[in-house]
Amino acid sequence: MISEDLDRVYLDRTRQLAEKNALPEVFQTLFSGGMQVIDGSFDPSLLGKKVGYLRKRLSTDAWADQGTLTLDLDKAFPGAHGMFTAEYDSEIDENLVQCLKSAYPNVEAEALPAMIRQEFKDYRRIKSVLLKSERHTFDFREHVPADWSLHAYTRGDARLIETAFANPQFHFIVSPQPIDSRLGLHQLLHEVGHVVRYKEQTPEEIARESDMRGKDKMTVSEKKDLVRSERDANAFALSHLWHFFGPEDMDIFRQLSYTALLGYQRK
């Protein structure tokens, strides 16, 4: 009982923090796919501006089938510094194929590859991501083992409600946001934070967390564990991003972190 009380205290404090620091409600609705109710006191053009800011990309051109992209962060993000490098191709990784096979057992084996290619035609398999400045290096592959894959959407029209996820059973990350936007980079680093933790967990602990995430109603202790896992992933992302981004961007990254946390709190 005492530990349940402590869990409740933790959840209450975290929820208050999240409520205070999350993006304004109109954005929360946007991210959760709800209906927009904008009253007269709100300037709708602000919404478009902020969304444009989050989606702004380093690369304005379409990504080739394969290649290496190296870009200056401050080209698109004023106040940022360092270089962004991503190495990619158009292969569909076997990890993802295996997961989809088990998710769609009724789809015939011969039909599956074409279905997957169609579904992921605007995605690329990202083999490496490097953020590098004179102060700090974030190397995706330093944290994410070689047997994990990453697939990322590469067009500018991604839907805001689609967010990145890491699958610890089949070892892959999918980013429905382009990873060269502020939104995409923040989500990617958050997911890498999850992977870092998965590496330290036993298969039983990982299975427990996956089950928990699928539940409609969690116990207090499960909810605390989930919120803590999300906070750890946020802390990982922010601890790397601040080396490359200016104060305005960091404010937004923090708000994005708390906005997502608030979503988990409400589960």
CB 47 within 8 A of CB 27: yes
Q: Which is nearer to Zn ion, 38 or 235 (CB)?
A: 235
Alpha carbon distance 128, 41 (integer Å):
45
Q: How far is the CB of 75 from Zn ion (least distance, A)?
A: 29
Contacts to Zn ion from residues 108-127, by CB under 5 A: none
Instruction: Between 132 and 197, name the residue whose CB sits nearer to Zn ion.
Output: 197
Query: How far, in Å, CA of 18 to CA of 227, rounded?
Result: 11
Q: Cβ neighbours of residue 91 under 8 Å, at least 6 residues apart?
A: 125
Q: Are strands 149-153 and 172-175 parallel, antiparallel or unpaired?
A: parallel
CA–CA gap between residue 115 and residue 117 (Å, rounded): 6
Q: Are 154 and 178 in contact (CB under 8 A)?
A: yes
Q: Which of residues 62-81 bind Zn ion (CB under 5 A)?
A: none
Q: How far is the CB of 264 from Zn ion (least distance, A)?
A: 8
Least separation, in Å, of the C-beta of 209 and Zn ion? 11
- Beta pairing partners, 173: 150, 166
CB of 155 to Zn ion, least distance (A): 23
# residues contacting Zn ion (CB under 5 A): 2
User: Does residue 241 belong to the site contacting Zn ion (CB under 5 A)?
Assistant: no
| Distance, CA of 17 to chain centre | 21
- Decide whether 87 or 209 has the Cβ nearer to Zn ion: 209
Q: How far apart are CA 196 and CA 240, in angstroms?
A: 13
Residues 216 to 235 in contact with Zn ion, rule: CB under 5 A? 230, 233
Least Å distance, CB 188 to Zn ion, is 11
Q: Tokens standing for 194?
A: 């999850």
Closest CA to 95 of 141, 32, 146, 136: 146
> What is the closest distance, in whole angstroms, from the C-beta atom of residue 81 to Zn ion in the complex?
27
CB of 230 to Zn ion, least distance (A): 5
Nearer to Zn ion, 180 or 230 (CB): 230
Question: For residues 87 and 230, which CB has a smaller minimum distance to Zn ion in the complex?
Answer: 230
Beta bridge partners of 70: 85
- Nearer Cβ to Zn ion (222/230): 230
Separation between Cα atoms, residue 81 and residue 249, nearest integer Å: 12
The secondary structure of residue 23, as a DSSP letter, is P
**40 or 214, CB closer to Zn ion?**
214
Contact, 130 vs 140, CB < 8 A? Answer: yes
Interface residue list for Zn ion (CB under 5 A): 230, 233
